[in-house]
Amino acid sequence: MRQLLTGAMAILLGVGGVLALFWVLNQAVDRLPERHQDRWRPWVFIGPATVVVVLFLLVPALDTIRRSFMGPSSEEFVGLDNYQYLLTDPQVRTAIWNNLLWIIVVPAVSVAIGLAVAVLADRLSERWEKIAKSLIFLPMAISFVGASTIWGFIYAWRTPGTPQIGLLNAIWTGFGNDPVGWLQNFAINDFALMVIMVWLQAGFAMVLLSAAIKNVPVDTIEAARVDGAGEVAIFWRVIVPQIRSTIVVVGTTILILVLKIFDIVYVMTDGNYGTDVIANLFIRQMFNFGQFGQAAVLVVFLIVVTTPFMVINIRRFRDQEALR
């Protein structure tokens, strides 16, 4: 009960404090001469957010870059030693390779499933369309840790001859096969982890792509049918070109999320069996080994890789807004 009250008070004070801050600032602007009000009123709303971004994002990012040139305790300057570690350490190479696999497979599969469900559900009656989309979107309500726990039971492995509590191995051994260590097998464990991410993100892709498909002008589809185009040709040559910008936005959004993937790997394998990724390696270097310099250079690497995709996303959003 005490924890619930603490949480409720934190929400009340947080929301109430923000509302009070905006009200006070707005009242202050109202007291200014009229010629200054239009100039300062936008800062009432973007000013606090700008301060938060600077204090909690920009300043820590700059400090992280500084620490990437420092030693384990962030006290002695070591130059480019940490960057040499980034380029030569086998663990880092494994993590980068795994991240590369994630960004190739997960966005593509998530968008493909989301697009397929959006197109097929659009052909159902309104009631069944809502049910189908709700089932696909439902995993979005589950945290990464919660989803990993669920799939941990699905992938669970026991030695041959003992009861299999994992769903997959229960089915697999039911056909007379030996149980498979899905997370211990180096050939498939990365893809087994990716399945969890796809399961979580396919609903997100489906919702946005479904909205884009519904905004495709019916006239263009009817004109294609009159010209004798089949449903497959209509999909690839009429619908897809008109929702290409949405596909790119959805794909890059999932890609940015995948670049920072941590929770699933940490909960399921903790990076063992060749499944390590950059974010998990960063956590281990920082908290397990106290290598703050090496941890910082891993974060700098993630920032450098993520930034171009964020720029692409912002430009796509602007292009979509310009077309409205």
Place 322 in a pLDDT band, splitting at 50, 70 and 90: low
CA pair distance 298, 78, nearest whole angstrom: 16
User: How confident is the model at residue 7, as a pLDDT?
Assistant: 84
User: How confident is the model at residue 264, as a pLDDT?
Assistant: 95
User: How confident is the model at residue 40, as a pLDDT?
Assistant: 84
Burial of 31: CB neighbours in 10 Å, binned 0-12, 13-18, 19+: exposed
CA pair distance 262, 196, nearest whole angstrom: 12
19 residue type, one letter: L
Place 324 in a pLDDT band, splitting at 50, 70 and 90: low
Tell me if the pTM is above 0.75: yes
User: How confident is the model at residue 21, as a pLDDT?
Assistant: 86
Q: 275 pLDDT exceeds 80?
A: yes
Using DSSP's 3-state secondary structure scheme, residue 77 falls into: strand
Which pLDDT tens digit goes with each residue over 291-320?
Answer: 999 999 999 999 898 888 888 877 877 776
Average pLDDT of 217-225?
88
Which pLDDT tens digit goes with each residue over 165-198?
Answer: 899 999 999 888 899 999 999 999 999 999 999 9
234 residue type, one letter: I
CA pair distance 199, 206, nearest whole angstrom: 12
On whether the CB atoms of residues 139 and 153 are closer than 8 A, the answer is no
User: How confident is the model at residue 125, as a pLDDT?
Assistant: 81
User: How confident is the model at residue 98, as a pLDDT?
Assistant: 94
Q: 130 pLDDT exceeds 90?
A: no
Place 146 in a pLDDT band, splitting at 50, 70 and 90: very high
